[in-house]
Structure 1
Amino acid sequence: MNTLSASQQKEFIEMLQTRFEKNIARHKGLEWAEIQRRLESDTKKLWALFQMEQTEGEPDVIGIDEKTNEFLFVDCCAESPKGRRSICYDQAALEARKEHKPANSAMNLAKSMGVEILTEEEYRLLQQLGKFDLKTSSWVKTPDNIRKLGGAVFCDRRYDTVFLYHNGADSYYAARGFRAIVRV
């Protein structure tokens, strides 16, 4: 069941509004009323945001896509969401592991949640709004040419700099997860 009850919706939207108001610097110039209207009219997107919250992502609005006029909700927790760590990159990587397989992959989990994994550009946009992943790292959407060669990419912030790294797509670490985006 990919929907929330009416009371869950109301409670969750109120919680998102509180986070929005506490972190106004992330979304200067945006008004909550329009965001709430869109959330209330799209239960599928609201459910996806709820999944982000359930995995400790702390979703919040970080801006608006000027081309599509969609509000951008992104995981704003300080470190990569706890409920989405210790996972490899995608299904092919999961199948390639012969021993010590992780429970899931980032791409599978994102799909089941109804979210997208951040691109490198989206990750860097988030990092302009605060300091994230100082102790963890997050898989980001990997270009096809890299993935075809068995690799995947991830980002983190160290030494006050955002880094993009590579690893085998089948690797997984307790401190690596992924950050998600939902467009509303």
Structure 2
Amino acid sequence: MTNQSESIAKKEVPVEQCEELLSLLKTRFEDNMHRHPELEWAKVQAKLDAKPEKLWSLHEMERTNGEPDVIGYDNEADSYMFCDCSAESPAGRRSVCYDPESLESRKKNKPAHSACGMAAEMGIELLDEAQYRALQQLENFDKKTSSWIKTPSDIRKLGGGLFCDFRFGTVFVYHNGVESYYAGRGFRGMLKV
């Protein structure tokens, strides 16, 4: 049996934790049917069973307080879409700048990580603006926090990064320098299974 550090290096979830994670995901799925009407957990479970490597990414989403849940099914790709559904931007992923380049270029008071770098390590993708807006159609998130979103390359080339939040009944998209980071800003990710 592998120990915890070997499991992390191999990106595997130990069997006991895997069972706990699947039970938690199933309960969350059943408790939040408004996020995925007409979808069945048994079919999601079958996809997860066929792609056990995806469980590691879901475990990382859960470990960093993202509360991942299914938010839809992509017919074209034949995949279920898991997204962070925590009420606020995941607490374990806040105080991060935008990407590895911005982290590297910051000379003083560097944050511990970047949103894009952390997402890549977790095997997930940052939401883009359309995905973030679609998520907000399911229920309202980020009423007190904000989340970095995938920034178009022309804006990023100029040193800008985009983030969103939900205030006054509206989704707002803002900009900051990519080197900036705040205690109330993290990022939401998506994983297709």
Aligned to 2:78: 69
- The normalised TM-score by structure 1 is 0.98
**What are the Cα deviations for residues 29-72 of structure 1, in whole angstroms up to 9, with x where unaligned?**
00110100111221221110110000000000011113212111
- Structure 2 SS opposite 1:8: helix
In structure 2, the gaps of 5 or more residues are 1-9
Q: How many angstroms does 1:95 deviate by? A: 1.4
The one of 94, 97, 110 equivalent to 1:85 is 94
Aligned to 2:39: 30
The one of 164, 179, 186 equivalent to 1:155 is 164
Structure 1's consecutive aligned runs of 4 or more residues displaced over 6 angstroms after TM superposition are none
- The normalised TM-score by structure 2 is 0.93
Question: How many Å separate the matches in 2 of 1:37 and 1:8?
Answer: 18
Question: How many Å separate the matches in 1 of 2:111 and 2:83?
Answer: 24
Aligned to 1:10: 19
State how 1:1-184 maps to structure 2 within 5 Å.
1-184=10-193
Q: How many angstroms does 1:87 deviate by? A: 0.3
The aligned length equals 184
**One-letter identity of the residue aligned with 2:156:** R
- Structure 1 SS opposite 2:163: strand
- Structure 2 SS opposite 1:128: helix
In structure 1, the gaps of 5 or more residues are none
Q: How many angstroms does 1:164 deviate by? A: 0.7
Question: How many Å separate the matches in 2 of 1:127 and 1:106?
Answer: 20
**One-letter identity of the residue aligned with 1:155:** C
- Structure 2 SS opposite 1:28: coil
Question: How many Å separate the matches in 2 of 1:182 and 1:36?
Answer: 14
Identity, in percent, stands at: 55
**One-letter identity of the residue aligned with 1:165:** Y
- Structure 2 SS opposite 1:68: coil
Question: How many Å separate the matches in 2 of 1:49 and 1:171?
Answer: 27
Question: How many Å separate the matches in 1 of 2:76 and 2:97?
Answer: 32
**One-letter identity of the residue aligned with 1:127:** Q
Q: How many angstroms does 1:24 deviate by? A: 0.6
Aligned to 2:3: none
Aligned residues: CA RMSD:
0.8
